[in-house]
Chains A and B, each alone.
Chain A
Amino acid sequence: MSGTTQKYKNFVAEPMGEKSVTELAGIGETLGGRLTEAGFDKAYTVLGQYLVLKKDEELFKDWMKDVCHASSKQASDCYNCLNDWCEEFL
């Protein structure tokens, strides 16, 4: 599981608040820069997109691939991160 990473644990452990998009699991500097260029500079904006897509995994992953050219692993890590965060805090 990708959720076992420390980055995942840190993000899911607390409310995201004003965390940067790079705080999300699976999103590093490169993908973060691309997302910021696309207007998704904060983690909650990605969360908003995730919610707009109604938590649909495939749609969200495709969106990730489309926006920031994320790999499937990066997209799934980000999805799992947001999904588990929502289960915890939403």
Chain B
Amino acid sequence: MSDLSYLETISNKELHAKCLEYGLPNIPVTDSSRKVILRRLQSSILGVPSKNAAAATKKTPRRETIHSSKATPAAVIDTSVPRVAGKSPSRNNNNSRRTIGVTPREYYPLDSSPVRTVQTTTTVSDVGSQSEDDDFYQVNSPSVKPQKRDDTRLRRSVSLTKSGVLTTSYTREVEKPHYEEEEQPQSYTYQRPQVAAAPARTLPIYEPRIERSYRPDLSRQSLTQTQLNSTSYLEASNEYNEPLMQQAPRNTFSGSAAPFNLGGTSSSAVRQRQTIGDSGFARGRLLQPTYKVNSLYPQLNDFYDQHNNTVQPMDLDTDSESEAEIQQRRQHQRSPGDSTDSPYLSHFSRQLDTRKRSSPLARPQMRSTIQQEDPNAPMNQFRALITSLDRQYHLKFYFFLMLAVVLATLIYVIVTPAV
């Protein structure tokens, strides 16, 4: 204590030298700042342990200083000591961000336990917490990195609180989607070879394979109709041109997995090609998504046979192609009596059909095929649009209201002359 009394008598220059000697910041000693610097020097000489909590946040030292100010003046020296040792490194930085960044370095050697608790306490963070992660992530990067080495996929956001406790939020990067994405293409590619192996060359071989390949597709793809369309498209593309097969199916499957629009467009495009092309088998494959209704097939088949007698070998194959007939049945329902393209027809019969199409009687057939696809979509869209408008604007209500008004006026007009 004799040193402390000695310091009060020394001059400002000597006091400044003492400050530098004990490692205090090089602050000029003036008459106004003498007392303050003297206190810090005394605290550094006494070696009072620093309060990390006081250095950590600005709010905690305020409370401590309140207690110190209210205490006896002798105790003021003791309270000021931890401030000096604790905050001297951190306060040199003007920016508050830097102080936050510096304090963890002081903490973690002392506070290794909270770091461990962070690993044990797995608090799954919401998506919104990730936005906060970036703010804290830079600050605590040096101390947190060793933790990340343990779990590579886990993002941890460490946030310092007032008490120094670390709160971590584990956000596992999307693992489930990866599995889903991986499973779907694998299943598709695995099924594909079966379909690709099925050529359209020989009909009896071809049809059972269609059924086999199609059923697993239903089991897996029954979730969405768009996927069904995509699969049907691929199968059809196999028949048309085999060299394009290998490229096209991959694209379509990837497209079917990600966007739903591609499947619908692809299916429509393929159907148009089928109407143009000669291969009726492809149409049967395309129509497989509507495969469920098979009961009407023999009727249609007989109906076709009446028009075309050459189809007999094809009739054996028609069991699997009943889906194609469903569309054709629809065609016949719309335009009965008109012979349209059937998957059962051989090339010769199709040539006959094309010849017939050249005749004026065949033209309505083409229109009917076009009308099958086109009117459905626009009408559905139109209906959907009307329904949506009804929901929003209550068009029906206004429509009926207008009708009621018109009827009322009519009645009024009719009645008034009578009166």
Chain B residue contacts of A59, Cβ below 8 A: 27, 33, 36-37, 40
User: What is the size category of the interface that chain B forms with chain A?
Assistant: 20 to 34
B62 with A58: CB separation less than 8 A? no
| B window 62-118: CB within 8 A of A | 62, 65-66, 69, 80, 83-84, 87-88, 91-92, 94
Q: Bound state CA distance, A17 and B199, in angstroms?
A: 92
Cβ-based interface call for B58 (8 A): yes
- Main SS at interface, chain B: helix
Q: CB distance B36 to A76 under 8 Å?
A: no
Give the contact stretch, choosing among A8-16, A19-27, A62-70: A62-70
Let me know if A62 and B39 touch, CB within 8 A: yes
Give the complex CA separation of A39 and B31 in angstroms.
12
Q: Is A49 an interface residue (CB 8 A)?
A: yes
State the CA gap A70–B40 with chains docked (Å).
Answer: 19
User: Taking CB as reference atom, which chain A residue is nearest B66?
Assistant: A72
Q: Are B69 and A71 in touch, CB under 8 angstroms?
A: yes
Tell me the residues in window 23-65 of chain B with beta carbons closer than 8 Å to chain A beta carbons. Answer: 25-28, 30, 32-33, 35-37, 39-40, 58, 61-62, 65
In the complex, whether A36 has a CB less than 8 A from a CB of chain B is no
17 contacts between A and B (CB under 8 A): A39-B32, A52-B27, A55-B91, A55-B94, A56-B91, A57-B91, A58-B83, A59-B33, A59-B36, A61-B65, A62-B35, A63-B33, A65-B69, A66-B35, A72-B61, A72-B65, A83-B94
**Contact (A71, B36) CB under 8 Å given A52-B28, A56-B27, A58-B87:** no
Q: Is the CB of A63 within 8 A of B32?
A: yes
Q: How far apart sit A76 and B94, CA to CA, in the bound complex (Å)?
A: 14
Kindly report which residue of chain A lies nearest to residue B80, judged by CB atoms.
A62
Tally of A-B residue pairs with Cβ under 8 A? 68
A65 to B76: give the CA distance in the assembly, Å.
Answer: 11
Set of chain A residues within 8 Å of B66, measured between Cβ atoms: 71-73
CB of B38 to closest CB in A, whole Å: 10
Task: Verify A87–B32 contact, CB threshold 8 A.
Answer: no
Contacts of B88 in A (CB 8 A): 56, 58
Tell me if B62 and A76 are in contact (CB < 8 A). yes
For B84, what are the chain A residues with a Cβ–Cβ distance below 8 Å?
58
Q: Which of A67, A72, A83, A86 has the most CB of B within 10 A?
A: A72
- B58-A76 in contact (CB<8A): yes
Known: A52-B28, A57-B87, A72-B69. A62 touches B36 (CB 8 A): yes
Assembled-state Cα–Cα distance A76/B36 (Å): 16
Q: Across the interface, which residues of B come within 8 angstroms of A71, CB to CB?
A: 66, 69
Interchain CA distance A31-B25 in the complex, whole Å: 28
B interface footprint on A27-61 (CB within 8 Å = 1, 0 otherwise): 00000000000110000000001001111111101
**Separation of A66 and B26 alpha carbons in the complex (Å):** 21
> Are the CB atoms of B33 and A52 closer together than 8 Å?
yes
Q: Is the CB of A49 within 8 A of B25?
A: no
Chain B residues, CB < 8 A from A66: 35-36
* Supplied contacts A58-B84, A87-B94, 18 more A-B pairs, CB within 8 Å: A39-B32, A52-B32, A54-B26, A56-B92, A57-B87, A58-B40, A58-B83, A58-B87, A59-B40, A61-B65, A62-B36, A66-B35, A66-B36, A67-B32, A72-B61, A72-B62, A72-B66, A75-B65
Taking the closest CB of chain B, its distance from the CB of A3, in whole angstroms, is 11
A15: min CB distance to chain B, Å: 19
Residue in A closest to B30 when the chains form the complex, CB atoms:
A52
CB-contact partner of B33 in A39, A49, A75, under 8 A: A49
| A residues less than 8 Å from B91 (CB atoms) | 55-58
The distance from the CB of B242 to the nearest CB of chain A, in whole angstroms, is: 73
Interface pair A54/B32, CB less than 8 Å apart:
no
